[in-house]
Structure 1
Amino acid sequence: MDNKKSRAFLKWAGGKYSLVSEIRALLPDGKRLIEPFVGAGSVFLNTEYQDYLLNDINPDLINLYKILQQKPESYIADARALFTPANNDAQRYYKFREEFNLSTDTYHRSVLFLYLNRFGYNGLCRYNLSGKFNVPFGRYKKPYFPEAELYHFAQKADRATFVCKPFAEVFSLAQQGDIIYCDPPYAPISTTANFTGYAGNGFGMAEQNRLADCARNTAFSQGIPVLISNHDTQQTRQIYAGASLKELKVGRYISQKGHTRAKVDELLALYQS
């Protein structure tokens, strides 16, 4: 595969675009790549497997991917229609956000989802406890309409099956010849981060441990390799005992308070028998 990288059409917190070269270098050969936490799909877009099984727990995300896979032309035309200067306005944004939250129409929600992703603050995808999308207006000069990226994703999606299941169920679908790559919500870098920044993502340390157990069993009992990304902390190194660990110097800064900025490295844990 050439060194030119493909960008995802969604803005995504924690997206793997900047790390795809390192991830790709560690992914073993296989027929099918399984991603239990596909997110914006940077690893999918920048690898070459025969087939893909792509999962996310967010039904809005998976429904969008299925619609783009099945009818790219009409989806892209309808999504483009919302990318106008008049719609780059707080009042319009909140009107569309409310429309999204009230709608039960899968297609309409998928069109609005891309608008909210590009016009909302920092490309965040966040819902309140009632399941309502609650990201505020982003105040960007001119949000970018990712037409080329949408077409590229749709074209590559011919090789993909999209599902919306808990990660453990996705692991149970793995067969010989599969490779699994996991990009879960990251473990907290401190107890403070655990309480503030990560509260409510529904993926605590119990889930981190369960994911590591799934990876260990799948790799060592079934011979299916599993690669996991996470923060490089003492806790994650303990959780991933038995895996081959590679530290990445990412140079992102995570800050709870302005005067306590700390450089955070990432870890790639490869389970392979």
Structure 2
Amino acid sequence: MNIEKSFLKWPGGKGRIIDKLLPHFPKDCQFIEPFVGAGNVFINVSAKSYILADINHDLINTYSWLKDDLAMLYNTTKELFDTENDFYDIRSQFNHPKFRETVKLAAQFIYLNRHGFNGMCRYNKKGEFNVPKGKHKNIYFPGAEMINFSNKLLYSDVSLLCCDFTQTIGLAGAGSVIYCDPPYLTKHKDSFVGYTPSGFCYSDTELLADCLYDAVLRGATAIISNCDNSATRDIFHRFKLHSIDAPRSVAANGNRKPAKEIIGVLTPDML
């Protein structure tokens, strides 16, 4: 299977389990992704239309520039990569921009993603990107991946939204396929809190499950992925759950052994 790669590094990126996900997606559907992240599923899924959403404004701004003016973003980003810059100076500029939604901000987002520690995307409660510099010998400029991603955005029926998952899932109707890869629950009532300043917790995951159930009542199909533990199995108990082994992308203790994860599927005929 030829798996396309995103131009972004992303903790938990679905490129590592895309071969296990794809068999669950019907073709020629409206594909809705409320937690689009690095977009590894989007670039590998065939659908008649796409709604890609995320609450991370910087991410959606970057996607918007890729779709609307690839040349401008490509050149601005390449100049950043080719110039000797201080990582923390770029991070400070990124955190205190004069204007939002600029190509400079999108280029800095890609720069920080590739130069930061393990490609993490983390914000503090002030909304400041606070990932430290990574220990890289060579930094890869993802020019080919940017072009490939831009082409899919440009030549497909794609809508980009910056909003929370409840709004995005509310757009789903009969025949829609919703794929959700939310921040993973690491233990009961706890989860990684970094992709946005507000974080994501146990109650958010419960709300997600309820929203997806309501969408399936309207005729949509819901597919989720998460870590395999008692908390997630309890929350998504109405789904058919498939246990899988997934390669780890980030492990603070150096553990790179495969992690136990689940893929959950809920279709209208299961209700």
TM-score by length of 2: 0.90
- Return the match for 1:147 from 143, 147, 165: 143
Deviation string, structure 1 residues 109-160 (Cα, Å, up to 9, x no partner): 1111111111111111111111111111113112100011000000000221
Asked if the contact 2:28/2:46 (under 8 Å) is kept, the reply is no
1:206 aligns with 2:203: yes
Structure 2: runs of 5 or more not aligned = none
- Return the match for 1:165 from 149, 163, 166: 163
Q: Which residue of 2 aligns with 1:271?
A: 266
Structure 1 residues 24 and 134 mapped into 2: Cα distance closer, same or farther (>3 Å)?
Answer: same
1:254 deviation in Å? 7.9
1:27 aligns with 2:22: no
Asked if the contact 2:117/2:132 (under 8 Å) is kept, the reply is yes
Structure 1 residues 118 and 179 mapped into 2: Cα distance closer, same or farther (>3 Å)?
Answer: same
Quote the Cα distance in structure 2 between the aligned partners of 1:116 and 1:54: 22
Quote the Cα distance in structure 1 between the aligned partners of 2:256 and 2:92: 36
Structure 1 residues 50 and 268 mapped into 2: Cα distance closer, same or farther (>3 Å)?
Answer: same
Quote the Cα distance in structure 2 between the aligned partners of 1:190 and 1:175: 31
Q: Give SS of 1:202's match.
A: coil
Q: Give SS of 1:150's match.
A: helix
Deviation string, structure 1 residues 205-233 (Cα, Å, up to 9, x no partner): 101111111111211x1110000000111
TM-score by length of 1: 0.89
Question: In structure 2, what residue type is equivalent to 1:217?
Answer: D
Deviation string, structure 1 residues 27-54 (Cα, Å, up to 9, x no partner): 2234210000000000001111111100
Q: Which residue of 2 aligns with 1:102?
A: 96
Q: Give SS of 2:105's match.
A: helix
Asked if the contact 2:33/2:180 (under 8 Å) is kept, the reply is yes
- Which of structure 1's runs of 4+ aligned residues deviate more than 4 A? 197-201, 253-258, 260-263
Counting matched residue pairs gives 262
Quote the Cα distance in structure 2 between the aligned partners of 1:4 and 1:261: 24
Asked if the contact 1:227/1:268 (under 8 Å) is kept, the reply is yes
Q: Which residue of 2 aligns with 1:236?
A: 232
Quote the Cα distance in structure 2 between the aligned partners of 1:144 and 1:201: 31
Structure 1: runs of 5 or more not aligned = none
Quote the Cα distance in structure 2 between the aligned partners of 1:153 and 1:254: 24
1:257 deviation in Å? 6.0
Q: Which residue of 2 aligns with 1:76?
A: 74
Quote the Cα distance in structure 2 between the aligned partners of 1:266 and 1:184: 13
Question: In structure 2, what residue type is equivalent to 1:56?
Answer: D
- Return the match for 2:218 from 188, 203, 222: 222
Asked if the contact 1:36/1:181 (under 8 Å) is kept, the reply is yes
Structure 1 residues 214 and 109 mapped into 2: Cα distance closer, same or farther (>3 Å)?
Answer: same
Asked if the contact 1:182/1:228 (under 8 Å) is kept, the reply is yes
Deviation string, structure 1 residues 37-91 (Cα, Å, up to 9, x no partner): 000000001111111100001000001100110000111011001112623xxxx
1:55 aligns with 2:53: yes
Q: Which residue of 1 aligns with 2:244?
A: 248
Structure 1 residues 251 and 124 mapped into 2: Cα distance closer, same or farther (>3 Å)?
Answer: closer
Q: Give SS of 1:249's match.
A: strand
1:238 deviation in Å? 1.4
Quote the Cα distance in structure 1 between the aligned partners of 2:110 and 2:230: 37
Asked if the contact 1:33/1:49 (under 8 Å) is kept, the reply is yes
Structure 1 residues 57 and 118 mapped into 2: Cα distance closer, same or farther (>3 Å)?
Answer: same
Deviation string, structure 1 residues 237-265 (Cα, Å, up to 9, x no partner): 1111221111102253986767x998630
Cα RMSD (Å) of the superposition? 2.2
Quote the Cα distance in structure 2 between the aligned partners of 1:168 and 1:105: 24
Quote the Cα distance in structure 1 between the aligned partners of 2:153 and 2:129: 26
